[in-house]
Structure 1
Amino acid sequence: MKSVRTSSLTFSNLRRFVLAGTRSYRRRTSVPVIAAGDVADGHGIAVALASGASAVQVGTAFLACHESRADPLRRKMLSARVGDTVLSKAFSGRLARGMRNEFIDAMRPHEASLPRYPIQSWFAAQLRQPAIASGRSDVIAPSAGQAASPVRRAGR
């Protein structure tokens, strides 16, 4: 399997590249483009729409809404800082972004030998209910988007 190096390309540089590509793509087609990822506020929505997106999907940011029924483990993202989210194959066998925890850190040296999706996903799912019952957030897949760090509770 080929290794992917992401440290030399910052997310803000990638975002600029993608948004510029969106504008160019929209000039050549009538297919709608939906921007998603790293959008947590009105500014992000405005930038995506100004760059040619037809719509914007906002995900992690809604954890901050008082109507959210997110469990306490998901609400932990409200206090996330840059670097608290990482890419890992530990929970699904596919590369996914989540809140860094002990399980992700322990599995990092073994990621190359983990079973592929959906087998690894099944194994990790077996931990979920017992972990929730015992309050163990360190072994649950804490999915989080790139915009986890700027998310803040409404009214703060």
Structure 2
Amino acid sequence: MDLHPGRTTMKEKKMIRLKDKLSHLTYTQACKFLGTNGGKLIRQGGKYDIDLTEQVTLTRHLFQLHVNGAVVTMQLDPLKHQRLHYKCSACETACTHLGAAFSLILEEKLALGLAAPPPEKTPIEGLSDERPWEADHPLGNPSAGHRKVN
């Protein structure tokens, strides 16, 4: 029985969620996961056209991508210190399907909800429309407004 609904327990705080892991994934890490041809597989996999709403499922515990007849799944392995476990239903070794999944995660973090949008830019108050870099402006023309000293 949960005495404090909505609160996170210490055990839950220590457990890394899949979305946390994927949100911090870097290109270098993805290449290491895929082995010596990691970069090549990510580039090749990045060429697939993927519809996020039709082909991708992402929950707290599972990432799934349906691509080119294969299903790529990713989840955290609780027995291995929350390490990322990934596999392709069609291939036994690292493949372009896995490359597609890693490419998608790296390129579409915002669309997948793995990153927050950048803050909106706020205009700086007090700036005028003057352009000091133009030649007819006193600040942009080094000789304007200055006397020549011999």
Q: Give me the TM-score of the superposition, normalised by structure 1.
A: 0.28
Structure label with greater radius of gyration: 2
- Which structure shows the bigger proportion of residues in strand conformation? 2
Structure with bigger RCO (C-alpha 8 Å, 6+ apart):
1
